[in-house]
Chain A
Amino acid sequence: MTWEIKSDRPIYSQLTELIKLKICSGEYPLGSKLPSVRDLAKEASVNPNTMQRALASLEEEGLLVSNRTVGRFVTEDISRIKQVRNQLAREHVKIFLENMTRLGFDHEDIVSVISEMEKEMRE
């Protein structure tokens, strides 16, 4: 997954979201060690202080655990990760539903277009 930063929102909150996604998708597995702040900042081409701020807020949310001497790790608390995954999914669905309503779709239309597309994509 690439570090795509959009221009209309604070960089630090976008970094938080991207790292959450990387954790939920398993790119950063449960209990694994994260690269150093500098390495992450370089990878994302962002300011190290901004990366530091994003990591600190993820620690506060209980997704990362830091150990002063060894570094920063992804939590081993699988239920916490499931919670976050659920929360991210709800945000996506909310935007999706808003867009579909704007297109004039009602509940049944939405359900039918989803099953139709799922079928097509399986084929």
Chain B
Amino acid sequence: MNNILECRNLTKFFGGFPALRNVNLTIPEGRIVGLLGPNGSGKSTFIKLCNELLTPSAGELIIGGHKPGVETKKIVSYLPERTYLNDWMRVSDIIEFFSDFYEDFNPDKARDMLKRLNISDRDRLKTMSKGTKEKVQLILVMSREAKLYLLDEPIGGVDPAARDYILDTIISNYSENATIIISTHLIYDIEKILDDVIFLKEGSVVMSKSVDEIREETGKSVDSLFREVFRC
């Protein structure tokens, strides 16, 4: 199996503060991976490095054979923690925007999914509830036929029913052989859809295993294990 993402000794300092320290990871194609850790553990820093929104202080990061840049942006579909879309935009504007930016964007798929949620082409982002906005963004990101999806806290601020919708949308829409990396601290909700989990603590990887390995070895869910590892 090929690896979609590899990093060696990946390190990022903010001033003197190490946000990520010597991270070594190998992530194959066709996996759904949970990037788990408490607030401030380095999850978003890692995802931003993968998107070239930050550059490493040391170490190496390779996605689909390239360093983060133009080539990787073609194959990486990114859902940021906070939106970069303007509030005044209508759904139709955003679809055009995505079609313009990304060759692998499938506008019909996006329109179809939006229609099923009764979201109209004419609706503006600013008239939508927080939950609806998150769903719209996720639909856009999942309508790309990408090789790697990076989802930063996709279920953060939404109610449990919207969470279920988001998780369903993720598992039924990623393209075949693609890998999804989901960062979150809401493990309970997401555990069943993950292949593997990576635990980050203070910028270092403290565990990298499959969900069923953890359950087999410890007789515990990933959620309970997380609560033990990160007990305050």
Spell out A's residues near B (CB within 8 Å): 5, 7-12, 38, 41-42, 44-50
Question: Please, which residues of chain A bring their CB within 8 A of the CB of B192?
Answer: 5, 11, 44-47
Closest Cβ of chain B to A57, distance in Å, is 12
Please state if B215 and A48 are interface contacts (CB–CB under 8 Å).
no
Q: Does B194 contact A (CB under 8 A)?
A: yes
Please state if B195 and A42 are interface contacts (CB–CB under 8 Å).
no
The complex places the Cα of A5 from the Cα of B193 at a distance, in Å, of: 12
Spell out B's residues near A (CB within 8 Å): 30-32, 164, 167-168, 171-172, 192-195, 211-212, 215-216, 219-221, 223-224
Closest Cβ of chain A to B27, distance in Å, is 14
Closest 6 CB pairs of A and B: A7-B221, A10-B212, A10-B215, A46-B192, A42-B172, A47-B193
Closest Cβ of chain A to B217, distance in Å, is 10
Please state if B168 and A42 are interface contacts (CB–CB under 8 Å).
yes
Contact of B223 among A7, A12, A46, A47 (CB under 8 A): A7
Please state if B168 and A8 are interface contacts (CB–CB under 8 Å).
no
The complex places the Cα of A108 from the Cα of B58 at a distance, in Å, of: 74
Please state if B172 and A38 are interface contacts (CB–CB under 8 Å).
yes
Please state if B219 and A45 are interface contacts (CB–CB under 8 Å).
no
Which chain A residue lies CB-closest to B194?
A47
Instruction: List 28 contacting pairs A-B, 8 Å CB cutoff, sorted by A.
Output: A5-B192, A7-B221, A8-B220, A8-B221, A9-B215, A9-B216, A10-B212, A11-B211, A11-B215, A12-B212, A38-B172, A41-B171, A42-B168, A42-B172, A45-B164, A45-B167, A45-B171, A45-B192, A46-B193, A47-B192, A47-B193, A47-B194, A47-B195, A47-B211, A48-B171, A49-B30, A49-B195, A50-B195
Question: Please, which residues of chain B bring their CB within 8 A of the CB of A42?
Answer: 168, 171-172
Question: Please, which residues of chain B bring their CB within 8 A of the CB of A41?
Answer: 171
Which chain B residue lies CB-closest to A46?
B192
Question: Please, which residues of chain A bring their CB within 8 A of the CB of B171?
Answer: 38, 41-42, 45-48
The complex places the Cα of A11 from the Cα of B125 at a distance, in Å, of: 38
Question: Please, which residues of chain B bring their CB within 8 A of the CB of A48?
Answer: 171
Question: Please, which residues of chain A bring their CB within 8 A of the CB of B220?
Answer: 7-8
Question: Please, which residues of chain A bring their CB within 8 A of the CB of B219?
Answer: 8-9
Contact of B32 among A5, A11, A45, A47 (CB under 8 A): A47
